[in-house]
Copies of this chain bind each other. A is one copy, B any other.
Amino acid sequence: LNIALLAGDGIGPEVIDQAVKVSNAIAKKFNHEIEWTSALTGAAAIDAVGEPYPDSTHEVCMAADAVLFGAIGHPRFDNDPTAKVRPEQGLLKMRKKLGLFANVRPTFTFPSLIDNSPLKRERIEGTDLIILRELTGGIYFGERGRSEDGNTAFDTCTYTKEEVQRLAKLGFEMAMQRTKKLCCVDKANVLETSRLWRQTVQAMEKDYPEVTVSYEFVDAVAMRPVQWPSSYDVLITENLFGDILTDEASVISGSMGLMPSSSIGVHTSLFEPIHGSYPQAAGKDIANPLATVLSAAMMFEDAFGLKEEAAAIRDVVNKSLAEGIVTEDLAGKNKAYKTSEVGDWLA
């Protein structure tokens, strides 16, 4: 198993370390050999070579069967959105060059943590939804600019039928594996790109006669995950709506530090925790590594088809939660373990 390792910034390296430990333990147990190749990205790469997604890193990713990613972002760039070189540019460049067109964001609850949620228990019990966010199109990658005097700015959102089909196909296929319910989220009452989305998905319905498709406006959808999240199964949406809705949905479980994600690509796939680089905690050995460990589980299952290995990782994570071998964010009044201690225990 040839895996590129992009630890990135902040707590990235610490949480990635634990996922590597756990993956190596699983590989040993199931007789696989993993070859890890580390590469620079984010602020770390800017510091080292002047740009956030260097060609050398791209080559490592292209040669790998999967990419395990930590987090990027550094506070010194935060208050200067117009800085010429920013970590986020590396993220966008990486997504585009690796063709990571579909970000898969599962949202589910952990029975033992359900009371951490800001939402009432009866609202969220049984929540198990997936948001599929288009990741290489839309307003993120369209033309943008300023008038000469700098006083007028514009951004362009563009989509092609093929981009919509590629994402929607994944959505239909996932729905078939699950409860056969698909929701297409758009703003077709205003946007032309949304109307293209809706028409394209409507035309695909006949190929998946068993799937029930609903079409809902993004503003209405922004309300429902907070009201009745268990009423959704698979949602598909464009890049910017997906950015907002996936983060909103991540609050449901009350366990953001536990949520994994994957990005399915043309050239390879990438697996990463949904949390950010959390700079305040960097270097303190206190960050929760479980989202990254669970991202490694997704990698075993989705990139390598190794279901048993993935299940073994998920089992041991559940065990650590049940036995209270957890970092301070989950420890409550009990003993808090260090990031590395949790990783050691899991491994």
B155 lies within 8 A of A82 (CB): no
Task: Please classify how large the interface on chain A is, using the bins under 10, 10 to 19, 20 to 34, 35 or more.
Answer: 35 or more
A226's nearest neighbour on chain B, judged by CB, is B251
- Give chain B residues whose Cβ lies under 8 Å from the Cβ of A332: none
B146 lies within 8 A of A192 (CB): yes
Instruction: Please tell me if A277 contacts chain B, counting CB pairs below 8 Å.
Output: no
B196 lies within 8 A of A146 (CB): yes
Closest chain B CB from A42 CB (angstroms):
13
Instruction: Please tell me if A74 contacts chain B, counting CB pairs below 8 Å.
Output: no
Instruction: Please tell me if A111 contacts chain B, counting CB pairs below 8 Å.
Output: no
Docked complex Cα distance between A101 and B191 (Å): 19
Closest chain B CB from A231 CB (angstroms):
12
Instruction: Please tell me if A188 contacts chain B, counting CB pairs below 8 Å.
Output: yes
Within 8 A of B (CB), among A222-278: 222-223, 226-228, 240-241, 243-248, 250-251
B119 lies within 8 A of A226 (CB): yes
B86 lies within 8 A of A189 (CB): yes
- Give chain B residues whose Cβ lies under 8 Å from the Cβ of A190: 88, 92, 139-140
- Give chain B residues whose Cβ lies under 8 Å from the Cβ of A219: 243-244, 246-247
Instruction: Please tell me if A198 contacts chain B, counting CB pairs below 8 Å.
Output: yes
Question: What are the nearest 9 A-B pairs in CB distance?
Answer: A81-B188, A153-B196, A144-B192, A222-B248, A219-B247, A151-B161, A153-B192, A153-B193, A154-B158
